[in-house]
Structure 1
Amino acid sequence: MSTLSALVLLAAGCGSSGSDDTSSTSGSGGTSTANAATVLGPVNKAAGAPVKIGLISDGKGPSSDTSIEGPVTEATVKYLNERKGGIAGRPIQLVRCETQNDAAKATDCGNQMVEEKVAAVVVGQSSVADAAWQPVHAAHVPFFVYAANTASLLTDPTSTFSLGDPTAQVRAAVDLAKSNGLKKVTAIVIDVPPALGSFKADGPKIASEAGVQLTLLPVPLGTADMSPQLQKLAGSDSAAFILGSEGFCIAALNGLRTVGFTGPVGAIGICASDAIRKAVTGGLKGTSIVGTVPFGTDNPSTRLYDAVLSTYGKSVDPNSVTGLSMFMTFSGFQTAVAGLKGDVTPAAVTSAIRSMPESELPASGGQKFQCSGKLEPNYPAVCLRGALTTKLDDKGKPTDYKVLATS
């Protein structure tokens, strides 16, 4: 995924780079084959005529590689069809299309889904989701996406559903200060519009409601020495939250240490990559990381993911934060339509998702979601508020996860 897309999409995993498909930390504790059946739950096979569901993925493009989303979804569909009754009791038939990060190909994928008469489209971590969305939306087919990254998707109150909260980074920054008994936090943000957007639009209100003073500090891309900009942060009477690329994170973290900042530090998941662990003076111990999936630790979410792959996708690498994010997204879609009965049409799917009860999002570390359109008034497509946070240990690895905010 490109740097800009990674910022917009929050950097999926806590404690992973977000730009690499794999991490040196295993995605799970290694669920054994003997335990997999218990973790997966009882057999509940789907039957009858299949239901077509589209999967649009960027796949392997010139600047990113999310090709693991396809095989992960294939394994997920097998699991849902055998253990979760598919959709409305009928088996899911996957219709796949890849964009290669090309907007024109994304439009073609959207048109293909309409021509195939799918009942819904599910999208992973795509930098060209808007182009795929346009023909799908025009045909009134529901569009269920890992994280919407444009205003057109986020503000659609009809048939668009996003698991990514555009305010999550702001909430994480504010929570970092509040949970440490502080009244101030400075957000050190790469100076590009997508990264600054929510801090400018939503930050003042969220911070005010929490009783925290939020200061936004934009820093130009490519700034190697941030000491001059960070000098006023010396001391420990405030928190600092970092949002940027790997190089940006390194400069910000080293800059904070150079100026003598001793307060709590938070950042998005991309700031906890292996490269950053090696490049930051003093390491990353104690840094709070925000992300969307509980990658890198042994927990119920990663055990479920591991069991699905060991049973239905043995050739799929389990050590991919992108793969776990895709599993969460497609399983979340199936959970959202759990109440659907009768004919599985686009209109019926949309209605079922809009009226779903608040439910736990599979493989999300305990986060709950609901697609009522009311969670974030400015973003009616958003189905989940907040994210996950974890503190890094002395090796720069994630520890226990905490759910940040609730739906």
Structure 2
Amino acid sequence: MVLKPGRRLLIAALAALSLTATVACGEAEDDSPTQPINAAALLGPEAAAKGEPVRIGVVTGKAATGQRAVERDVSEATIEYLNARKSGIGGRPIELKVCDTTADPSTATDCANQMIQAHVVGVVIGSTSVAEAVWDPLHAAGIPTMLFAASDAPVLRDADSTFVLSDPIFSSVTLPLELAKDEGKTTVTTIVVDVPSALGLYSTVAPPLYAAAGVEHQLIVVPLDTADMTPQLQKLAKGDPGVVQVVGNDSFCVAAFNGLRAVGFTGLINAAGPCISDATRKATPKDQLEGMMVSAATPLGTDNPSMQLYEAVAATYGRDIDLTVPAGMSLFSTIVSFHAAVANITGDVTPAAVTAAIKGAPETAMPGAVPLKFKCDGSYYPATPAVCLRGGLIATLDDQGRPEKYEARGVA
């Protein structure tokens, strides 16, 4: 079966849905991010790196068209900031090697081989739908790899040299369970788009976790292009669906929101990050958007320390970086987290030494995702030792469908 471009993009977006999605801010006439008032104070004092460079790689998901073109610009600006203000790695300047996968598996493998041939000491993988094709050769070569999020089982289960900065079960299990507890509900109903990457966790990992928590989980699977979901959701009018979770892209979610309104549901809705866009805001009544809870990867679009630092780096070292693109802030957070774990490394900087430094680093605030913290010693989830973080961020939307505030949940 040949997938249409829109369906391929949706599957790619949902492949790492656990936490990669950020609540999109979108473009508005007077809603563009403002430059920080005092960038110098946010960036800290000058502390230039000196000596022989240390080479690290960044693999991006930039396609011929699309938002991820920002990733190269963000990586270059971030490395310049780390070299100028954070003394590089071990006091030595960071030399950047960038490769774009263009969302093609063979190109992704070639990117990995380029990194190996360039003798990088570590690789950060950005928002690409072919991350495993990059990861596999790097893993075989013993090069430490850090990703913002991952959904591939071999990646998550690697205890040797892989580090993932998000919780793979947060949005699908942990968060709905916490919201159900908050609301005094014993049921969670998930309305999910019918694509394999979105359904995976709900059919494998989720059932025993919901059962252990004593919460009933109802799964309503709906084809992607369904415009009217009222027939599928009609059964919700006959009982208490508890907390309702919606997982899909914006058009899918708008249809789900309309269907929920049509059957009279007025309870709490937990939406996945890709649900919320300007198209969603235009098509969804304000009273339904207000108070909606949305899982998020980074606190994009609000006045918080993470966003302020990102803005300061982009303004000082970047060139016309679009601050509204979620992939940009996710990559920024990953690169700065990689640096935080290895900044004080001593001796020869080799892939093995970098791996050991990351594993031995203490629990640290995750730059770009405050107030979350990360630690890469494999202790959070023994079954998936690559995971460096427990829990995630959740945004509460205002009546305009924009993040009003963020809080960390599921971190205990």
Q: Matches of residues 154-303 of structure 1 in structure 2 within 5 Å?
A: 154-169=156-171, 170-234=173-237, 238-282=242-286, 283-303=288-308
Q: Displacement, 1:210?
A: 4.1
Partner residue in 1 for 2:3: none
Shift of 1:315: 2.5
- What is the CA distance between 1:90 and its match in structure 2? 0.9
Which residue of structure 1 lines up, in the alignment, with residue 112 of structure 2? 110
Paired residues of 1:130 and 1:150 also in contact (CA < 8 A)? yes
Task: Describe the SS at the equivalent of 1:319.
Answer: coil
TM-fit CA distance, 1:44? 2.1
CA distance in structure 2 between the partners assigned to 1:368 and 1:295 by the alignment: 17
Contact 1:272/1:284, CA 8 A, preserved across alignment: no
Find the residue that maps to 1:306 and give its secondary structure. helix
Report what 2:4 is aligned to: none
After TM superposition, give the deviation of residue 174 of structure 1 in Å. Answer: 1.6
- Report the Cα offset of residue 9 of structure 1: 2.5
**Aligned-pair CA distance for 1:395:** 0.8
Aligned to 1:68, the other structure's residue is in SS state helix
Structure 2 unaligned spans of 5+: 1-7
Could you report, residue by residue, the CA deviation over 1:333-362 in whole angstroms, capped at 9, with x for unpaired residues?
Answer: 111223422111000111111122111100
* Runs (4+) off by over 3 Å: 11-14, 22-30, 208-211
**Alignment check: 8 A CA contact 1:173 1:187 kept:** no
State the TM-score, normalizing by the size of structure 1.
0.93
Instruction: Write the distance in 2 (CA, Å) between the matches of 1:324 and 1:272.
Output: 17
Question: Which has the larger displacement, 166-175 or 88-97?
Answer: 166-175
Q: Which residue of 2 aligns with 1:4?
A: 11
Query: Are the structure 2 counterparts of residues 236 and 14 from structure 1 closer, same or farther at C-alpha, using a change threshold of 3 Å?
Result: farther
**% identity of equivalent residues:** 46
Aligned to 1:391: 396
Q: Which runs of 5+ in 1 are unaligned?
A: none
Q: Which amino acid aligns with 1:258?
A: A
**Structure 1, residues 94-149: CA drift from partner, whole Å, max 9, x if none?**
00111111111111100000000000011110101111112111111011112123
The one-letter code of the counterpart of 2:324 is N
Alignment of 1:77-156 (within 5 A): 77-156=79-158
| Contact 1:290–1:389 (8 Å) recurs in 2 | yes
- Please list the CA deviations of residues 261-285 of structure 1 after superposition, one character each: whole Å capped at 9, or x if unmatched: 1110011111111101112245511
CA offsets, 1:55-79, max 9 Å, x none? 11121236x4411111111110011
SS at 1:66's partner residue? helix
2:101 touches 2:108 (CA, 8 Å); kept in 1?
A: yes
SS at match of 2:107: helix
Residues of 2 paired with 1:225 and 1:176: CA distance?
27
CA contact (8 A) 1:57 1:69 kept: yes
